[in-house]
A and B are shown apart, each in its own frame.
Chain A
Amino acid sequence: MSKRQVAMVFDLNKCLGCQTCTIACKRLWTREEGMDYMWWATVNTQPGRGTPRDWEQSGGGFKDGVAQAGKLPTRQDFGDAWKFNHEEVFFEGKGQSAHLQVVGEQPEWGPNWDEDQGAGEYPNAYYFYLPRICNHCTHPACLEACPRKAIVKREEDGIVLIDEDRCRGYRFCMEACPYKKIYFNHVKKVSQKCIFCFPRVEQGVAPACARMCPGRVRFVGYKDDQNGPIWKLVEKYKVAIPLHPEFGTEPNVFYVPPVAPPRYDAEGNIDESKPRIPDEYLVSLFGPKVLDALAILKAEMAKTRAGGKSEMLDVLIAYQWKSMFGGLDRDPATIEWTKS
């Protein structure tokens, strides 16, 4: 275990599914050769098959502390990188006549293929967005699977990084990560993954996905910082819980579960007898503790509705944008960045 641990909390009640986080990450980190199909930050509609396709059923991780066999997703499963007629539309003077479209083989899957489909029947259909990054796990399956000790978990902040000089592209990490958050760069022949924007964190700047999020969804900070949002939401209020805790990797990304609007009955009246998002579904994602977290959240919401105050909801609302970053709130424009 590292001395300290950076972490994130994603409030699923606020995520717009706008993909600003996804694009912020893409522009910053995955634009080089061999990275075309990579999305270190993803946002998928739940219920849904996710990215890569069916990752929740891909094995890996630990069961009662014992490593489990995992599957390797294909590029297709990740959604691949579609080729577009950019040249034609942007550079050949056909901006008015040609539509931007996929050229060559037409895709049958993509990184966000089942967006907004969700589940349930009108008027009780439901869905929510699930943003994901590498969880920078406390018990990282990727690190423990690598025979070359090419993956390190940093002492000072618990960020999990791949040493590309030691990596030989064996992809045992990719097989072992139950969240399928490792990508293979077939040009550099090494595995690559979310780096929690460590060069930014080292300068006191929150990761790009968090800073760019217009929904104020993504809280950042050190887990042990009692003045920061992570400790408050995870430890104090116990309203944020990890995704698939049964995978056994002890993730350091936590989620505030979604409270859906109420259901309607056959007569069109509000029916509070059962939730719109089935409890079983949320339990299948977050384990049984999700019901406690939802109860805590609903109780605080009832409190404020009755005119009371809730420090917990104040934290979640994030009136002050910078309060979300646990002190990692330095303006990146004040730093002179160099690329080595």
Chain B
Amino acid sequence: MLVNFVRGAPVEWLLDPDAEPWRKVSLERVALVGTPVGLQPTPAIRAAWANKHIGAVSEVQVGAVHNGEVIAFRLDWQDGSENRELGDTTAFPDAAAVMIPVVAGAPLITMGAPNQPVNTWYWRGDSDTQGRQVLSEGIGTTRTVDQTLVRGHGIWKDGRWKVVIARPMKVTSAEKVVQLAPGEKTQFAVAVWEGSNSERGGVKAFSGSWRDLVLAPAADGGKV
């Protein structure tokens, strides 16, 4: 997938799925599959999901842009219910995430492996604009590194989510998170959690394999 360079687009535009920069972006269809029940990290989760369908959302339309400093992913998917609430003990929010390997070749299905970390940028319907940045080196090792660098915004309308997840390409962090630059190539994967199907944690739909990500060069060297 090519990440188009949108010169001079303010971050607020990138974060608004209805704003100008997104109109020119053609979204690509990405098929999603449920995570295998056998790979769920604990016996209780495997028991609870043994006879239930994991991965209620089966496809998502994905696009991305950058303005030389911030990269924003756009995920659109069909969803008959807008789940933003945590009001009852049985209510779960809709959520989405983009994952990028920190080390090339890190395994996707296990969310990384020892010494092969992957970096995940989360959006969740109940805390719309505040994203979350996570590192993991294998199933059950996810660790939140900050809740400030990743920003998001979702709009649900007419049975469809339009969600943006953004982060500065280069960040100052004590942690080994992904650093990106215009003109570079890497890979990415996406995941979607359907709240109305009680999806959370490792119970989700994901893109199954890494996809290529090519960041268009910023014509003026990345400064806008």
Contact = CB atoms under 8 A, between A and B. Distances in A.
Q: Interface centre among B47, B50, B126, B202, by most A CB within 10 Å?
A: B47
Nearest to A173: B44
Interface in B29-45: 40-45
B142 interface: yes
A144 B42 contact: yes
A61 to B, nearest CB: 9
A186 B41 CA distance: 24
A172 B47 contact: no
Nearest to B51: A69
A243 B40 CA distance: 30
Interface string B12-40: 00000000000000000000000000001
Contacts of A189: 86, 126
Contacts, number: 75
A147 B89 contact: no
Contacts of A175: 44, 48
Contact of B89 (A60, A67, A74, A148): A74
A12 interface: no
A169 B125 CA distance: 14
Main secondary structure of the interface of B (DSSP, over half): loop
B210 to A, nearest CB: 22
Nearest to A72: B90
Interface residues on B, range: 20 to 34
A169 B198 CA distance: 12
A174 B43 CA distance: 14
B201 interface: yes
Contacts of A176: 44, 48
B147 to A, nearest CB: 12
Interface in A67-111: 67-70, 72-75, 78
Q: Interface centre among B89, B142, B200, B201, by most A CB within 10 Å?
A: B89
A146 B89 contact: no
B140 A148 contact: yes
A70 to B, nearest CB: 7
Interface in B200-217: 200-202
A38 to B, nearest CB: 11
A70 B126 CA distance: 25
Contacts of A146: 42
B144 to A, nearest CB: 8
B46 interface: yes
Given A67-B47, A168-B201, A174 B89 contact: yes
B100 to A, nearest CB: 20
Interface of B: 40-48, 50, 86-90, 126, 139-140, 142, 198, 200-202
What 8 pairs between A and B have smallest CB-CB spacing? A145-B44, A67-B43, A176-B44, A147-B41, A67-B44, A69-B48, A186-B86, A184-B89
Given A149-B140, A184-B86, A189-B86, 19 more contacts: A67-B42, A68-B44, A68-B47, A69-B44, A69-B47, A69-B48, A72-B89, A73-B89, A78-B89, A141-B44, A144-B44, A145-B42, A147-B202, A168-B201, A170-B200, A171-B200, A176-B48, A186-B89, A189-B126
9 contacts: A66-B43, A67-B42, A67-B47, A69-B47, A69-B50, A72-B198, A145-B44, A168-B200, A189-B126
